[in-house]
Structure 1
Amino acid sequence: MNTFLQQYILKQFDGNHEGLQVVIPKFKPFNVKRNKHLLVQGQVCQNIYFVAEGCLQSYIYDSNMQENTKEIITEGNFYCDLRSFNKNLPAIENIRTVEPSQLYQLSKRDFQELMETVPQFSKVYQKLLEAYYNNAGYRVNTFITLSALDRIKWLMQHRPSLLTRLPSKLIASYLGINKDVYSRLKAKL
Protein backbone atom coordinates (compact mmCIF):
# COMPACT_ATOMS: atom_id res chain seq x y z
CA MET A 1 0.00 0.00 0.00
CA ASN A 2 1.24 3.46 -0.85
CA THR A 3 2.60 5.12 2.27
CA PHE A 4 1.59 8.52 0.89
CA LEU A 5 -2.06 7.41 0.87
CA GLN A 6 -1.70 6.02 4.40
CA GLN A 7 -0.09 9.24 5.62
CA TYR A 8 -2.78 11.35 3.98
CA ILE A 9 -5.60 9.38 5.59
CA LEU A 10 -3.82 9.19 8.95
CA LYS A 11 -3.47 12.98 8.91
CA GLN A 12 -7.23 13.31 8.38
CA PHE A 13 -7.70 10.91 11.30
CA ASP A 14 -5.62 13.30 13.47
CA GLY A 15 -2.98 10.61 13.94
CA ASN A 16 -5.50 8.13 15.35
CA HIS A 17 -4.77 4.70 13.86
CA GLU A 18 -8.22 3.40 14.81
CA GLY A 19 -10.15 2.70 11.64
CA LEU A 20 -7.09 2.91 9.40
CA GLN A 21 -6.91 -0.89 9.06
CA VAL A 22 -10.51 -0.84 7.81
CA VAL A 23 -10.08 2.08 5.40
CA ILE A 24 -6.79 1.29 3.65
CA PRO A 25 -7.77 -2.14 2.20
CA LYS A 26 -10.82 -0.56 0.53
CA PHE A 27 -8.53 1.40 -1.79
CA LYS A 28 -7.64 -0.85 -4.72
CA PRO A 29 -4.30 -0.11 -6.40
CA PHE A 30 -3.92 -0.24 -10.16
CA ASN A 31 -1.63 1.08 -12.87
CA VAL A 32 -2.94 2.85 -15.94
CA LYS A 33 -1.16 3.72 -19.16
CA ARG A 34 -1.11 7.23 -20.57
CA ASN A 35 -4.25 8.55 -22.28
CA LYS A 36 -6.69 6.01 -20.79
CA HIS A 37 -10.14 7.12 -19.69
CA LEU A 38 -11.31 6.48 -16.15
CA LEU A 39 -14.65 8.18 -16.79
CA VAL A 40 -16.40 9.19 -20.00
CA GLN A 41 -19.14 11.81 -20.24
CA GLY A 42 -22.52 10.09 -19.89
CA GLN A 43 -21.31 7.29 -17.60
CA VAL A 44 -22.19 7.39 -13.92
CA CYS A 45 -19.10 7.94 -11.78
CA GLN A 46 -18.70 4.89 -9.54
CA ASN A 47 -15.22 5.53 -8.10
CA ILE A 48 -13.07 8.06 -6.32
CA TYR A 49 -9.42 8.02 -7.42
CA PHE A 50 -6.30 8.85 -5.42
CA VAL A 51 -3.23 9.69 -7.52
CA ALA A 52 -0.09 8.08 -6.05
CA GLU A 53 2.00 8.70 -9.18
CA GLY A 54 1.15 10.32 -12.46
CA CYS A 55 -1.35 12.88 -13.60
CA LEU A 56 -5.04 13.02 -14.55
CA GLN A 57 -6.99 15.49 -16.66
CA SER A 58 -10.64 16.31 -16.12
CA TYR A 59 -12.19 17.91 -19.18
CA ILE A 60 -15.49 18.82 -20.78
CA TYR A 61 -16.48 19.59 -24.35
CA ASP A 62 -17.79 22.99 -25.36
CA SER A 63 -20.49 23.57 -27.99
CA ASN A 64 -17.85 23.27 -30.74
CA MET A 65 -16.69 19.90 -29.35
CA GLN A 66 -13.40 21.42 -28.23
CA GLU A 67 -11.83 20.00 -25.07
CA ASN A 68 -11.75 22.38 -22.13
CA THR A 69 -9.63 21.24 -19.22
CA LYS A 70 -11.46 21.59 -15.96
CA GLU A 71 -8.67 20.32 -13.72
CA ILE A 72 -5.23 18.74 -13.67
CA ILE A 73 -4.86 16.27 -10.80
CA THR A 74 -1.37 15.34 -9.64
CA GLU A 75 0.15 13.17 -6.93
CA GLY A 76 -1.43 13.22 -3.51
CA ASN A 77 -4.89 14.26 -4.64
CA PHE A 78 -8.30 12.62 -4.86
CA TYR A 79 -10.64 13.15 -7.78
CA CYS A 80 -14.00 12.12 -9.18
CA ASP A 81 -16.99 13.76 -10.85
CA LEU A 82 -18.63 14.67 -7.54
CA ARG A 83 -22.00 15.54 -9.03
CA SER A 84 -22.23 12.20 -10.82
CA PHE A 85 -20.79 10.26 -7.87
CA ASN A 86 -23.10 11.80 -5.25
CA LYS A 87 -26.33 12.00 -7.24
CA ASN A 88 -25.89 8.93 -9.44
CA LEU A 89 -26.28 11.11 -12.55
CA PRO A 90 -24.51 10.80 -15.91
CA ALA A 91 -21.13 12.51 -15.78
CA ILE A 92 -20.69 15.78 -17.62
CA GLU A 93 -16.91 15.52 -17.49
CA ASN A 94 -14.31 13.07 -18.72
CA ILE A 95 -11.34 11.89 -16.66
CA ARG A 96 -8.24 10.45 -18.29
CA THR A 97 -4.60 9.81 -17.52
CA VAL A 98 -2.11 12.27 -18.95
CA GLU A 99 0.88 10.18 -17.88
CA PRO A 100 1.30 6.54 -16.90
CA SER A 101 -0.26 6.57 -13.44
CA GLN A 102 -0.42 4.58 -10.24
CA LEU A 103 -3.87 5.08 -8.78
CA TYR A 104 -5.97 3.87 -5.88
CA GLN A 105 -9.64 3.40 -6.54
CA LEU A 106 -12.38 3.54 -3.92
CA SER A 107 -15.72 2.21 -5.16
CA LYS A 108 -18.95 3.98 -4.33
CA ARG A 109 -20.14 0.95 -2.39
CA ASP A 110 -16.96 0.87 -0.28
CA PHE A 111 -17.11 4.65 0.14
CA GLN A 112 -20.66 4.45 1.50
CA GLU A 113 -19.70 1.60 3.81
CA LEU A 114 -16.77 3.59 5.20
CA MET A 115 -18.95 6.66 5.72
CA GLU A 116 -21.37 4.53 7.77
CA THR A 117 -18.86 2.46 9.75
CA VAL A 118 -15.75 4.63 10.25
CA PRO A 119 -16.72 8.02 11.71
CA GLN A 120 -13.28 9.51 11.04
CA PHE A 121 -13.58 8.75 7.34
CA SER A 122 -15.99 11.66 6.97
CA LYS A 123 -12.95 13.92 7.52
CA VAL A 124 -11.34 12.48 4.40
CA TYR A 125 -14.50 13.20 2.43
CA GLN A 126 -14.82 16.65 3.98
CA LYS A 127 -11.28 17.48 2.82
CA LEU A 128 -12.14 16.24 -0.68
CA LEU A 129 -15.22 18.46 -0.76
CA GLU A 130 -13.34 21.47 0.60
CA ALA A 131 -10.56 21.10 -1.95
CA TYR A 132 -13.05 20.65 -4.79
CA TYR A 133 -15.13 23.66 -3.72
CA ASN A 134 -12.16 25.94 -3.04
CA ASN A 135 -10.46 25.05 -6.29
CA ALA A 136 -13.64 25.50 -8.33
CA GLY A 137 -14.29 28.90 -6.78
CA TYR A 138 -10.72 30.01 -7.26
CA ARG A 139 -10.66 28.92 -10.90
CA VAL A 140 -13.89 30.80 -11.66
CA ASN A 141 -12.55 33.95 -9.99
CA THR A 142 -9.26 33.58 -11.85
CA PHE A 143 -10.99 33.33 -15.22
CA ILE A 144 -13.04 36.42 -14.46
CA THR A 145 -10.30 38.63 -13.06
CA LEU A 146 -6.94 37.60 -14.52
CA SER A 147 -5.67 38.29 -18.00
CA ALA A 148 -4.22 35.45 -20.06
CA LEU A 149 -0.70 36.60 -19.21
CA ASP A 150 -1.52 36.74 -15.50
CA ARG A 151 -2.95 33.20 -15.63
CA ILE A 152 0.35 31.97 -17.06
CA LYS A 153 2.25 33.82 -14.32
CA TRP A 154 -0.06 32.27 -11.73
CA LEU A 155 0.68 28.79 -13.09
CA MET A 156 4.42 29.49 -13.07
CA GLN A 157 4.20 30.53 -9.44
CA HIS A 158 1.71 28.00 -8.04
CA ARG A 159 2.05 24.88 -10.21
CA PRO A 160 5.37 25.19 -12.03
CA SER A 161 5.87 21.44 -12.41
CA LEU A 162 2.97 21.34 -14.88
CA LEU A 163 5.00 23.43 -17.32
CA THR A 164 7.55 20.65 -17.75
CA ARG A 165 5.16 17.72 -17.41
CA LEU A 166 2.38 18.68 -19.79
CA PRO A 167 2.16 19.61 -23.47
CA SER A 168 1.48 23.27 -24.25
CA LYS A 169 -1.92 22.44 -25.74
CA LEU A 170 -3.08 20.93 -22.43
CA ILE A 171 -1.69 23.81 -20.37
CA ALA A 172 -3.42 26.31 -22.65
CA SER A 173 -6.69 24.43 -22.25
CA TYR A 174 -6.27 24.39 -18.45
CA LEU A 175 -5.69 28.14 -18.46
CA GLY A 176 -8.57 28.82 -20.85
CA ILE A 177 -6.27 30.30 -23.48
CA ASN A 178 -5.88 29.54 -27.18
CA LYS A 179 -2.71 27.44 -27.63
CA ASP A 180 -1.18 29.95 -30.08
CA VAL A 181 -1.82 32.84 -27.68
CA TYR A 182 -0.36 30.76 -24.86
CA SER A 183 2.84 30.07 -26.83
CA ARG A 184 3.22 33.72 -27.79
CA LEU A 185 2.67 35.00 -24.24
CA LYS A 186 4.90 32.36 -22.67
CA ALA A 187 7.72 33.36 -25.02
CA LYS A 188 7.52 36.92 -23.64
CA LEU A 189 8.17 35.75 -20.08
Structure 2
Amino acid sequence: MGTHLPIEENASDVYTREVFKEFQLEVICSTDTCKSVGYAEVDGVEVTVVKDSIRKKSFNVEYNPGTQATQCSCMMFERMGFLCRHIVWILSANGMKTIPVDYVSTRWKKDALHFRLSECDGVQMETNSSADAKEVAMVKLWSEVHSTIGLLRGASETEVVNLSSLIREFKEKLLPYKKDLTKQQEFEQILGCPLMTR
Protein backbone atom coordinates (compact mmCIF):
# COMPACT_ATOMS: atom_id res chain seq x y z
CA MET A 1 0.00 0.00 0.00
CA GLY A 2 1.15 3.51 -0.75
CA THR A 3 -0.77 5.13 2.14
CA HIS A 4 -2.24 4.29 5.52
CA LEU A 5 -5.82 4.83 4.23
CA PRO A 6 -8.18 1.83 4.56
CA ILE A 7 -9.94 2.90 1.34
CA GLU A 8 -6.76 1.99 -0.58
CA GLU A 9 -6.72 -1.53 0.85
CA ASN A 10 -10.42 -1.89 0.06
CA ALA A 11 -9.69 -0.89 -3.55
CA SER A 12 -6.98 -3.56 -3.82
CA ASP A 13 -9.60 -6.20 -2.92
CA VAL A 14 -12.20 -4.87 -5.37
CA TYR A 15 -10.45 -3.55 -8.50
CA THR A 16 -8.44 -5.31 -11.19
CA ARG A 17 -4.69 -4.79 -10.90
CA GLU A 18 -4.48 -2.18 -13.66
CA VAL A 19 -7.38 -0.08 -12.35
CA PHE A 20 -6.10 -0.41 -8.80
CA LYS A 21 -2.76 1.09 -9.87
CA GLU A 22 -4.56 4.11 -11.36
CA PHE A 23 -6.84 4.48 -8.34
CA GLN A 24 -3.87 4.04 -5.97
CA LEU A 25 -2.25 7.08 -7.59
CA GLU A 26 -5.42 9.08 -6.83
CA VAL A 27 -5.33 7.89 -3.20
CA ILE A 28 -1.67 8.87 -2.81
CA CYS A 29 -2.31 12.27 -4.40
CA SER A 30 -5.30 12.80 -2.10
CA THR A 31 -2.97 12.71 0.91
CA ASP A 32 -0.10 14.62 -0.70
CA THR A 33 -1.70 17.28 -2.87
CA CYS A 34 -5.24 18.03 -1.64
CA LYS A 35 -6.45 20.42 1.03
CA SER A 36 -9.70 22.16 1.88
CA VAL A 37 -9.88 25.87 1.11
CA GLY A 38 -13.62 26.43 1.51
CA TYR A 39 -16.79 24.85 2.87
CA ALA A 40 -20.54 25.40 2.71
CA GLU A 41 -23.64 23.36 3.48
CA VAL A 42 -26.62 23.54 1.11
CA ASP A 43 -29.80 21.55 1.87
CA GLY A 44 -27.89 18.91 3.86
CA VAL A 45 -25.19 18.54 1.19
CA GLU A 46 -21.65 19.48 2.19
CA VAL A 47 -19.84 21.42 -0.54
CA THR A 48 -16.08 21.55 -0.01
CA VAL A 49 -13.63 23.43 -2.19
CA VAL A 50 -10.59 21.18 -2.52
CA LYS A 51 -7.35 22.71 -3.79
CA ASP A 52 -5.19 20.38 -5.89
CA SER A 53 -1.56 21.54 -5.77
CA ILE A 54 -0.53 19.38 -8.76
CA ARG A 55 -3.24 20.68 -11.07
CA LYS A 56 -2.95 24.15 -9.53
CA LYS A 57 -6.72 24.38 -9.46
CA SER A 58 -9.61 24.09 -6.98
CA PHE A 59 -12.56 21.73 -7.37
CA ASN A 60 -16.01 21.69 -5.74
CA VAL A 61 -16.82 18.36 -4.08
CA GLU A 62 -20.42 17.71 -3.03
CA TYR A 63 -20.98 15.08 -0.33
CA ASN A 64 -24.24 13.98 1.25
CA PRO A 65 -23.45 12.32 4.62
CA GLY A 66 -26.87 10.64 4.73
CA THR A 67 -26.78 8.92 1.33
CA GLN A 68 -23.00 9.01 0.78
CA ALA A 69 -23.71 10.48 -2.67
CA THR A 70 -20.75 12.51 -3.88
CA GLN A 71 -19.70 14.41 -6.98
CA CYS A 72 -16.63 16.40 -7.98
CA SER A 73 -16.48 19.20 -10.52
CA CYS A 74 -13.46 17.50 -12.14
CA MET A 75 -15.95 14.81 -13.34
CA MET A 76 -13.33 12.04 -13.21
CA PHE A 77 -15.76 9.38 -11.98
CA GLU A 78 -18.11 10.14 -14.86
CA ARG A 79 -15.23 9.91 -17.36
CA MET A 80 -13.09 7.09 -15.94
CA GLY A 81 -15.38 5.06 -13.71
CA PHE A 82 -13.37 5.40 -10.50
CA LEU A 83 -13.14 8.13 -7.86
CA CYS A 84 -10.80 11.10 -8.10
CA ARG A 85 -8.32 12.25 -5.45
CA HIS A 86 -10.63 15.09 -4.40
CA ILE A 87 -13.50 12.74 -3.53
CA VAL A 88 -11.10 10.28 -1.88
CA TRP A 89 -9.85 13.16 0.27
CA ILE A 90 -13.42 14.05 1.32
CA LEU A 91 -14.41 10.41 2.00
CA SER A 92 -11.28 9.87 4.11
CA ALA A 93 -11.91 13.10 6.00
CA ASN A 94 -15.40 11.75 6.77
CA GLY A 95 -13.99 8.48 8.13
CA MET A 96 -15.00 6.27 5.19
CA LYS A 97 -12.98 3.04 5.12
CA THR A 98 -14.42 1.59 1.92
CA ILE A 99 -15.48 2.91 -1.47
CA PRO A 100 -19.28 3.39 -1.45
CA VAL A 101 -20.84 0.57 -3.46
CA ASP A 102 -22.45 3.01 -5.94
CA TYR A 103 -18.96 4.17 -6.95
CA VAL A 104 -17.49 0.77 -7.77
CA SER A 105 -18.13 0.31 -11.48
CA THR A 106 -18.79 -3.34 -12.30
CA ARG A 107 -16.55 -3.12 -15.37
CA TRP A 108 -13.48 -2.48 -13.19
CA LYS A 109 -14.13 -5.21 -10.61
CA LYS A 110 -11.99 -8.34 -10.44
CA ASP A 111 -15.05 -10.54 -11.04
CA ALA A 112 -16.52 -8.48 -13.93
CA LEU A 113 -15.46 -10.93 -16.63
CA HIS A 114 -16.60 -13.86 -14.56
CA PHE A 115 -20.17 -12.54 -14.68
CA ARG A 116 -20.09 -11.39 -18.29
CA LEU A 117 -18.88 -14.67 -19.78
CA SER A 118 -21.71 -16.85 -18.52
CA GLU A 119 -22.94 -17.40 -22.09
CA CYS A 120 -21.61 -16.44 -25.49
CA ASP A 121 -23.55 -17.27 -28.66
CA GLY A 122 -25.47 -20.02 -26.89
CA VAL A 123 -22.37 -21.74 -25.47
CA GLN A 124 -22.60 -22.07 -21.69
CA MET A 125 -19.46 -20.94 -19.91
CA GLU A 126 -18.31 -20.79 -16.31
CA THR A 127 -20.30 -18.41 -14.09
CA ASN A 128 -19.70 -16.95 -10.68
CA SER A 129 -21.40 -19.23 -8.16
CA SER A 130 -22.29 -16.23 -5.99
CA ALA A 131 -24.33 -14.66 -8.82
CA ASP A 132 -28.06 -14.83 -8.27
CA ALA A 133 -30.36 -16.27 -10.94
CA LYS A 134 -31.64 -12.87 -12.04
CA GLU A 135 -28.10 -11.53 -12.60
CA VAL A 136 -27.20 -14.60 -14.68
CA ALA A 137 -30.44 -14.21 -16.69
CA MET A 138 -29.66 -10.52 -17.30
CA VAL A 139 -26.16 -11.38 -18.52
CA LYS A 140 -27.60 -13.99 -20.89
CA LEU A 141 -30.14 -11.45 -22.17
CA TRP A 142 -27.39 -8.90 -22.88
CA SER A 143 -25.48 -11.61 -24.71
CA GLU A 144 -28.55 -12.44 -26.83
CA VAL A 145 -29.21 -8.79 -27.67
CA HIS A 146 -25.56 -8.15 -28.51
CA SER A 147 -25.22 -11.21 -30.76
CA THR A 148 -28.56 -10.44 -32.49
CA ILE A 149 -27.50 -6.87 -33.27
CA GLY A 150 -24.19 -8.22 -34.53
CA LEU A 151 -26.10 -10.32 -37.07
CA LEU A 152 -27.57 -7.12 -38.54
CA ARG A 153 -24.23 -5.98 -39.99
CA GLY A 154 -25.01 -7.72 -43.29
CA ALA A 155 -28.76 -7.12 -43.10
CA SER A 156 -30.85 -4.76 -45.19
CA GLU A 157 -32.17 -1.44 -43.89
CA THR A 158 -35.68 -2.94 -43.76
CA GLU A 159 -34.51 -5.77 -41.49
CA VAL A 160 -32.81 -3.28 -39.16
CA VAL A 161 -35.97 -1.13 -39.02
CA ASN A 162 -38.13 -4.23 -38.38
CA LEU A 163 -35.99 -5.36 -35.45
CA SER A 164 -35.99 -1.83 -34.05
CA SER A 165 -39.82 -1.78 -34.23
CA LEU A 166 -40.02 -5.16 -32.52
CA ILE A 167 -37.80 -3.95 -29.66
CA ARG A 168 -39.87 -0.76 -29.33
CA GLU A 169 -43.11 -2.81 -29.11
CA PHE A 170 -41.62 -5.01 -26.38
CA LYS A 171 -40.38 -1.93 -24.52
CA GLU A 172 -43.91 -0.46 -24.57
CA LYS A 173 -45.26 -3.69 -23.07
CA LEU A 174 -42.80 -3.27 -20.19
CA LEU A 175 -43.78 0.37 -19.56
CA PRO A 176 -46.65 -0.45 -17.14
CA TYR A 177 -44.06 -1.95 -14.78
CA LYS A 178 -42.05 1.28 -14.90
CA LYS A 179 -44.89 3.79 -14.71
CA ASP A 180 -44.07 4.75 -11.10
CA LEU A 181 -40.43 5.60 -11.94
CA THR A 182 -39.32 9.17 -12.55
CA LYS A 183 -37.13 9.93 -15.58
CA GLN A 184 -34.10 10.15 -13.28
CA GLN A 185 -34.90 6.75 -11.72
CA GLU A 186 -35.18 5.22 -15.20
CA PHE A 187 -31.72 6.58 -16.12
CA GLU A 188 -30.31 5.32 -12.81
CA GLN A 189 -31.73 1.88 -13.53
CA ILE A 190 -30.16 1.84 -16.99
CA LEU A 191 -26.77 3.10 -15.73
CA GLY A 192 -26.75 0.96 -12.60
CA CYS A 193 -25.74 3.87 -10.36
CA PRO A 194 -27.35 7.06 -9.00
CA LEU A 195 -27.20 10.27 -11.02
CA MET A 196 -25.41 13.06 -9.23
CA THR A 197 -26.98 16.50 -9.17
CA ARG A 198 -24.97 19.66 -9.08
Tell me whether the two structures share a fold, i.e. TM-score over 0.5.
Answer: no
Q: TM-score of the superposition, structure 2-length normalised?
A: 0.26
Higher normalized strand content (fraction of residues): 1
Higher relative contact order (CA closer than 8 Å, sequence separation 6+): 1
